[in-house]
Amino acid sequence: MTMILRSALVLVLLVGILSPASESLRFELQSGQTKCISEDMKSNSMTVGKYHVVKPNEDHPLPDSHKLTVKVTSSYGNNYHSAEKVESGQFAFTAAEQGDYMACFWVPEHSPQITVTVDFDWRTGVHAKDWTNVAKKGQVDAMELELKNLYDTVQSIHEEMFYLREREEEMQELNKATTSKMFWLSFLSLFLCLSVAGLQFWHLKSFFEKKKLI
């Protein structure tokens, strides 16, 4: 029974890691407004993104009022991509630090207000690599290509396990720090209660002595 549970756990972990780490979506953006999309990334992980404005009329060029201003930044404020008044673009970089990365899209003010439709594809980790292009450039056969893909997948699993272990250690340190603070807080509360009780006893004793009741 234990072996079955372990096998099921490993299967769930593999499915979660091998599932596409990508975000492909289409959204609408009002003129004069900004829309931001975030992605949680580990350090040293690769990411690629592509975006373009859907033309309202395929037979005519895209008007300037429909062009985007795009900026990609990290949670530390570092800028990884910037483009102004473009109808399409792409970015690719390796994350220098762990955390949330933000892709923000903005359309200039326009009167009357217009709506711009944007297609955005954002991929990270193993799924950020275009293995079809690797095969074309390197002239490798299908078996070698598959081995490279499997190797990269295993490496991603290995990095994910270390990442989970680091998060677990952080949670343990946080629990220890919280327990220590609670202990000292309880000790301080007990000390204050005993001090107040002692002062009250001394005050009552002095009062009764003055009244010559004891």
Per DSSP, the residues of 9-72 read: HHHHHHHHHHS--EEEEEEEEETT-EEEEEEEE-TT-EEEEEEEEPPS-TTSPPPGGG-EEEEE
pLDDT digits (tens, 9 = 90+) for 31-60: 999 999 999 888 888 888 999 999 888 778
Reported as a pLDDT band with limits 50, 70 and 90, residue 157 is confident
Question: How far out from the chain centre does Cα 100 lie?
Answer: 4
Provide the CATH topology of domain 22-139.
Answer: Jelly Rolls (2.60.120)
Backbone dihedral region for residue 99 (phi beyond 0: left; psi -120 to 50: alpha; all else: beta): left
Mean model confidence pLDDT for the chain: 80
The residue ranges of every structural domain in the chain are 22-139
How far apart CA 167 and CA 209 sit, in angstroms, is 63
State residue 127's pLDDT score.
62
- What are the phi and psi torsion angles at 52 (to 5°)? -160, 150
CA atoms within 13 A on the CB side of 182: 6
pLDDT digits (tens, 9 = 90+) for 132-151: 454 454 444 555 666 777 88
For the full predicted model, state whether its pTM sits above 0.85.
no
pLDDT digits (tens, 9 = 90+) for 99-144: 899 999 999 888 888 999 999 999 887 666 654 454 454 444 555 6
